[in-house]
Amino acid sequence: MRTAFSNALVEAATQDERVVLLTGDHGYALFDEFRKRCPGQYINAGIAEQNMVGVAAGLAKAGLRPIVYGLSAFIPVRVLEQIKIDVCYEKLPVVFTGDGAGLVYSTLGTSHQSFEDIACLRSVPHIEIMSPCDAHELTACMRMALRAEGPVYLRMGKADVGQVHASLPDLRRGQLVRVREGHHPVALIATGSMVKAACALGDELAASVWSAPWIKPLDTRQVAELAAGASAFVTFEEHSAAGGLGGAVLEALSETRPLPMLRVGIGERFSQTCGSYAHAMREHGLDLASVRERVLPFAARWKAS
């Protein structure tokens, strides 16, 4: 996925000289090709993320298209006030990219793990939130983000969990993308790295699986249409179960057609042990075996009813 991100940056900058990349002293190898092809469109702002957002806001007001890159623990969490006041208040077209979202930086502990970033931004006006599940979705999301008239946050997990789509999907603003068709009455909706787990369970259950590359806005009409043909929903995210995709779907359902729903995400806790990414996913109950233990009984109950 990070290779696709690098390629998308180079594509955007070579096609539009207004595109400027700002990084907080991160991603040197990631940006080697960008710096080689577009040296005048690259700014290393150093470990000064709050200032970097202010610089990006000024560049946007001058007519440029800034892309701000950092780890998601810092972009957007450390700079939330600057995103709110400097960028969102004036609806400036700045793309924020948060890399290593979720539990990927497992060995670095809570300071570098990020499972509250979506929740922090969902209540900030005027910013859109994207969460691609693979390289194809990321490429499509980047192209749409750079066409947006206002601010966008693009969330990336650093772990490569494999491709979901065979080619670039036809993304439409706010809409879910069906990645598996099934006939089970429980529909599975996932975002980011958890789409692969949802697909595996969709195969077991013969259930439909939907990817959510957009968290905000979320097409509430589409969610209502899905609810009309389902008995229950399960949402999956490598993010807090509060305030993320599950929360967005629940809010949409509450205003249209309330349904029973299981939210698979990170609970009210921080990581307590240190280990690999797979270890962190097990600790928080997001590995496939743990998720299966929760989802299969829930799905069986609603199929029986």
pLDDT at 3 over 90: no
pLDDT at 159 > cutoff 80: no
Count the Cβ atoms, other than its own, within 10 Å of residue 78: 17
Mean pLDDT of the chain: 94
Tell me which amino acid residue 278 is.
A
What's the rounded mean pLDDT across residues 115-133?
A: 97
The three-state DSSP-derived secondary structure of 189-244 is EECHHHHHHHHHHHHHHCCCEEECCEEECCCHHHHHHHHHCCCEEEEEEEEECCCC
Domains parsed from the chain with CATH numbers: 2-155 (3.40.50.970), 177-304 (3.40.50.920)
pTM greater than 0.75: yes
CA 113 vs. chain centroid, Å, equals 14
pLDDT digits (tens, 9 = 90+) for 230-247: 999 999 999 999 999 999
The string of pLDDT tens digits covering residues 128-147 is: 999 999 999 999 999 999 99
